Amino acid sequence: MTDSTTNMRLKLPITCFILEIILIILFGVLVQYDHETDSREWHKSNHSDYENDFYYRYPSFQDVHVMIFIGFGFLMTFLQRYGFSSVGFNFLIAAFALQWATLMQGFFHGMHGGKIHIGVESMINADFCTGSVLISFGAVLGKTSPVQLLIMAMFEVTLFAVNEFILLSILGTKDAGGSMTIHTFGAYFGLMVTRILYRPNLDKSKHRNSSVYHSDMFAMIGTIYLWMFWPSFNSAITAHGDDQHRTALNTYYSLAACTLSTYAMSSLTAHDGKLDMVHIQNAALAGGVAAGTAGEMMLTPFGSMIVGFLAGIISVLGFKYLSPILEEKLKIQDTCGVHNLHGMPGILGAIVGAVTAAVATTDVYGNGMKDVFPMIADGGKASYQGGIQAISLAVTLGIALLGGLIVGFILKLPIFGQPPDTICFEDSIYWEVGWINGDIASTIRCQ
Amino acid sequence: MTDSTTNMRLKLPITCFILEIILIILFGVLVQYDHETDSREWHKSNHSDYENDFYYRYPSFQDVHVMIFIGFGFLMTFLQRYGFSSVGFNFLIAAFALQWATLMQGFFHGMHGGKIHIGVESMINADFCTGSVLISFGAVLGKTSPVQLLIMAMFEVTLFAVNEFILLSILGTKDAGGSMTIHTFGAYFGLMVTRILYRPNLDKSKHRNSSVYHSDMFAMIGTIYLWMFWPSFNSAITAHGDDQHRTALNTYYSLAACTLSTYAMSSLTAHDGKLDMVHIQNAALAGGVAAGTAGEMMLTPFGSMIVGFLAGIISVLGFKYLSPILEEKLKIQDTCGVHNLHGMPGILGAIVGAVTAAVATTDVYGNGMKDVFPMIADGGKASYQGGIQAISLAVTLGIALLGGLIVGFILKLPIFGQPPDTICFEDSIYWEVGWINGDIASTIRCQ
Amino acid sequence: MTDSTTNMRLKLPITCFILEIILIILFGVLVQYDHETDSREWHKSNHSDYENDFYYRYPSFQDVHVMIFIGFGFLMTFLQRYGFSSVGFNFLIAAFALQWATLMQGFFHGMHGGKIHIGVESMINADFCTGSVLISFGAVLGKTSPVQLLIMAMFEVTLFAVNEFILLSILGTKDAGGSMTIHTFGAYFGLMVTRILYRPNLDKSKHRNSSVYHSDMFAMIGTIYLWMFWPSFNSAITAHGDDQHRTALNTYYSLAACTLSTYAMSSLTAHDGKLDMVHIQNAALAGGVAAGTAGEMMLTPFGSMIVGFLAGIISVLGFKYLSPILEEKLKIQDTCGVHNLHGMPGILGAIVGAVTAAVATTDVYGNGMKDVFPMIADGGKASYQGGIQAISLAVTLGIALLGGLIVGFILKLPIFGQPPDTICFEDSIYWEVGWINGDIASTIRCQ
């Protein structure tokens, strides 16, 4: 299965080396420790070492980090012959994206006297941006070369930072868990890319575009880690104190309710009542996505449960009925079904956030209003904040779709070594694997 | 392998929907943010955001959360054809149980002015209660439908909360790591349920009631996570400061000593000296169970090691010699051997706790006595506390056995879709799986 | 495959029991809670429970703990028929080593009035020392009995503590993440042991000394966990505040850069450009090793990236070109290639640390100098500190090589039950496994 067009011997090393050298140079010129990581700066002020934000953000960061590398990486190993690429390319593009995101996010909203200041909060934000790229990766999974993925990551990170800047810094949108900035953006960007990269003859690789028993078990590792740590994800960069605490709590109950509705819908929509691993692996997570915007708000535990409950239902229905339509009618080949896990639940989360913001009152938030809605605390109207939230969704969708369109065409350039239609979803193009040409059948039979 | 009696198409969705809707309604009526998660309440008082308990409990919570969903879930994947159900039903019933536990535990010991107040501590307690249900799940693994499991969880959570209330609130028992409330309760409840559900013809599914190479590897993920995070489990809800610190330390050494005695006994009891994965996966964890009550006390590191050392020995001997007797003579079909991992080590832990409490002196505990033994600090006798601890074990065993008896008979009702004797330990009844009827042999041969 | 010489029925239980009983006795005589874990001591002083170091070290400890048991354990499961032993012996020797390390490290640098005081910091240090043993385990993987491994651990922990004492306590070396004390020491100790245990006929087990598809997937779990938590590893015992924060940040970027250079080099050095799982699983981690000494220093983010970038290149080149030479010319059979992951990157890390120390100025470190370089803060010259760092590398190499030499000869004694050349890299000698003699071929074919 070696093919001159997919041979990465020069393309991949050159891409990696150029990107990393550019990163190193830009870091050398632009990036500095912030005042909590710099030895001299930290010791200038009079505070205890225990007040360093490291102790209040780093455990959340590590949970997010696990979601990015284990969660996303293993979630995508469900394909029978694409485990190396799923976890391996996830690893590669995430390692690149988090560096590039540090620069792009710093450039747009982290500059101090011409320098980008970094610390644990920027690390969390870089991982968040990376998450968005990995969502898009899910849409094109199995059909792209690692060079294409790196190029996609480069552009997507940049556009992510632009969108994030517009929302958070210009409009004053609240979106701590990223229902819009991360999930909606990543999903619709990826869906547009995969639309542009449409392969009419993908059914030639159809026999590999499915799971086997063990690949589903590996994927469950990803699912469970994402599910468990989602409360940390949504709360990682909210304001300290009650805000982080409440966000984690809301997400916890949203996910729990989502899991029950997912199992119910999975069984209900199967003709023989049997559960489908695709739903369990994905839809059970929709409650985390949908609590991404409103999680830090006074959503109440039962509000969170309703959101999760609906997210699970929508997501399973999407997998069952909408995805086949998207593929047939709109020519969107969405390998992981990111539209059902990140797209629709992201939009749901944005709407829930807009509504929850629009009904915020000082009676409910008290002096905590300034942490959750600084604009309302400063005298703005809650309905205005709600309007901002709704506009933000539209902006996000616009940038994601337009960006995906452009990037999709760039990725179509024949120089990036994308696999032919006959060998998609196949590790052996890019990896040394034990099996030999033609041995596919025996592998599948034996799993 | 589709069978009208095991078809879940209506049973499972209806059960999930009814349960979740009841939960949402009850949460709406009864549940409120506590003063650390509520925006207005938290900002009423004059404290730093960094004093929020989130920062002092949430990392422990996440470790416990991993034990519940990855630890228990993957530990049970050792069966060759039951991986989807092990990790998938674990996921489902845990997601339900943690919501229901929030209500039941709140009802018994978390009410404030007619409302249940929730935050990170209630989340940990809900996960703990869930752990107890998952222990019982281990006893009936492979022989029950998901609907039966949800029903069992509903009753067990309720009885768990009653027992916990009697011990912690009425008697003043100390049991932070749950040797009694979680492990002894969950094990004997589950053993009684599986006794009532006794299947005389279970040997018709015998060929599936064993592991294959890869299923044992997946199970080791569960084992290692449980082992690593047990120090966090036992210390998650002890008093802050030295108490949490000491509990983690004691559990760490108890587990390390337990691991050595487990390996020793596993090799010693095999005719050819070969290690048995069943022992390694389970008995090596008994040291965590046995340190559940006394872990927060001044057990000393070497006392902890003795406890762990004995727990490992008892547990392996249980797997090797007692389990076959329980099955043949008492008709207790204990799939995961929870009696050896949670039952006997739980009782050992309760006894160690009673003895350690009975010898507590102010000389050893100093001003810390009020955190560990408030009753002794208030002038009570240590021997009285020891007596309370011993009585608590008896109460726990009583409620667990009686509760298991009743719930077992409820689960026997033929409407819940339990699998026939010929297709136990088999994913394909409840899950879409790649293999086809009759293809069992090839799967087993190939693993 | 049962053989009287490899039969562990008496050897393993006797070794485990004797070691554990000695440990328990020595703990009883020598070990005490420190003032943060002891009930009376902690409550003597006037401080808040929230100031207990538990809250500032324990999350790091748990990350390190995961690296030791999941990271190292699963990284070594890449061999096709050695998964039980990889994760199982890793578990056994780590459980022993952390107890023995508590005593040895306490004896050399934790004595207070004739007693060893323990708490979360000693737990981290014990895990660190254990890590060093597991590195050596990687060199001899598949060729040693569990009894040999326990004996090796006993001696190696002792020598580790001696070396650590010389460096940290006598010389005043800085090595928080252990480029020298952990990685260089563990690697060269293990390489010397495997040199002494050289097997000229190891090619008789050659067909088992390789991976299959699923074993590589399990190994990736280990890789990713090591990669994610390495920032916690390097920062776990640095000074509080900016130091921990900066160390985590530096390691994060070093690893990210290393990942890109690893992928680039893996593709570049393959004749068909295909990525090699061995490189990805190992070389991508070299950036963590190489940032072990200088991570806490003002290395700057871009300095960290250069270090990681070089470490990845060196490591892949080592796997590709140096390992075969070491095996053929120097008779060093290094199963996991620890020379490439821990040896050379460890030396690189030591050199980077020496250079970074030698150029330290008060202008850069400010009042934080006393945390990073107490000797320089007290008026010492930076170049002197640099010299100390360089000498420390030489000392470490000397003790590791000499220690490995002696321990290697001890392990050659025929009483420890080492496997014959024909059945290396094989679980079924020491474990009950499903497969039967002669069934190797079918297992391999089916993976």
B residues 121-180 closer than 8 Å to A (CB): 123, 146
pLDDT for the residue numbered A102: 98
**Ranges in chain C, pLDDT < 50:** 1-2, 436-447
Give the model's pLDDT for residue B116.
97
Q: How large is the C-alpha radius of gyration of chain A?
A: 22
Residue A366: which region, alpha, beta or left (left: phi > 0; alpha: psi -120 to 50)? left
Q: Go through C227-255 and write b for each residue having 16 or more CB atoms within 10 A of its CB, e for each that does not.
A: bbbbbbbbbbbbbbbbbbbbbbbbbbbbb
What pLDDT is attached to residue B440? 38
Write out chain B residues lying below 8 Å of C100, CB-based.
none
Write the pLDDT tens digit of every residue in A312-337: 999 999 999 999 999 999 999 999 99
- Using alpha carbons, select from B411, B432, B429 the residue that is nearest to residue B208: B429
* CA nearest to C303 within chain A: A28
Chain A residues whose beta carbon lies within 8 Å of the beta carbon of residue B119: 245, 249
How close is the nearest chain C Cα to the Cα of B47, in Å?
Answer: 14
Q: How far is Cα C147 from Cα C134, in angstroms, rounded to an integer?
A: 15
Tell me whether residues B442 and A446 touch, CB distance under 8 A: yes
Residues of C in contact with B244 (CB under 8 A): 52, 54
Write down the ipTM of this complex: 0.96
Distance from CA of A232 to the nearest CA of C (A): 14
Task: Name every chain B residue with its beta carbon within 8 A of the beta carbon of C71.
Answer: none
Residue window 68-97, chain A: list those with CB within 8 Å of chain C.
69-70, 73-74, 77, 83-84, 87-88, 91-92, 95-96
CB-based contact, B439 to chain A, within 8 Å = no
C436 touches chain B (CB under 8 A): no
Neighbours of chain A (3+ CB pairs under 8 A): B, C
**CB-based contact (8 Å) between A207 and chain B?**
no
Contacting partners of chain B (3+ CB pairs under 8 A): A, C
Nearest residue in C to A94, CA atom? C256
Chain A residues within 8 A of C251 when measuring between CB atoms: none
- The verdict on C5 touching B (C-beta cutoff 8 Å) is no
Mapped onto helix, strand or coil, the DSSP state of residue B237 is coil
Residue B208 near chain A (CB below 8 Å): no
Angular region, A142: left φ>0, alpha ψ -120 to 50, beta rest: left
Give the DSSP per-residue string, B60-78. HHHHHHHIIIIIHHHHGGG
Q: What gap in Å lies between CA B425 and CA B419, rounded to an integer?
A: 9
The H or E element containing residue C118 is strand C115-118
Round to whole Å and give the CA distance between A165 and A46: 33
Residues of A in contact with B27 (CB under 8 A): 253, 301-302, 305
pLDDT of residue C45: 85
HSE toward the beta carbon, residue C342, CA cutoff 13 A:
30
The whole-number pLDDT of residue B447 equals 33
Mean pLDDT of A109-127: 94
CA atoms of C266 and C263, how far apart (whole Å): 5
- CA B410 to centroid of chain Cα atoms: 22
Interface test with C, best of A29, A56, A62 (most C CBs within 10 A): A62
pLDDT of residue C109: 85
Q: Taking a C-beta distance cutoff of 8 angstroms, is the pair A180, A427 a contact?
A: no
Chains A, B: CB contacts within 8 A come to: 219
Q: Would you call B305 and C44 a contact, using CB atoms and an 8 Å cutoff? A: no
Chain C residues in contact with B280 (beta carbon < 8 A): 88, 91
For residue C371, give every residue at least 6 positions away whose Cβ sits within 8 Å of its Cβ, in sequence order, or none.
A39, C238, C239, C241, C242, C243
Q: Which residue of C has its CA nearest to A51?
A: C241
Mutate to test the interface with C, among B56, B63, B174, B302 (most CBs of C within 10 A): B302
Is the CB of B245 less than 8 angstroms away from the CB of C44?
no
- Cβ-contact C237, C124 below 8 angstroms: yes
Could you list the pLDDT tens digit for every one of the 447 residues in chain B?
Answer: 456 788 999 999 999 999 999 999 999 999 999 999 999 999 998 899 999 999 999 999 999 999 999 999 999 999 999 999 999 999 999 999 999 999 999 999 878 899 999 999 999 999 999 999 999 999 999 999 999 999 999 999 999 999 999 999 999 999 999 999 999 999 999 999 999 999 999 999 999 999 999 999 999 999 999 999 999 999 999 999 999 999 999 999 999 999 999 999 999 999 899 999 999 999 999 999 999 999 999 999 999 999 999 999 999 999 999 999 999 999 999 999 999 999 999 999 999 999 999 999 999 999 999 999 999 999 999 999 999 999 999 999 999 999 999 999 999 999 999 999 999 999 999 999 975 433 433 343 333
CA distance C87 to chain A (A): 17
Q: What is the torsion angle, in degrees rounded to the nearest 10, for the CA atoms of residue B183, residue B188, residue B194 and residue B198?
A: 150
pLDDT digits (tens, 9 = 90+) for A209-242: 999 999 999 999 999 999 999 999 999 999 999 9
Query: Looking at chain C, which subunits does it touch, using at least 3 CB pairs closer than 8 Å as the criterion?
Result: A, B
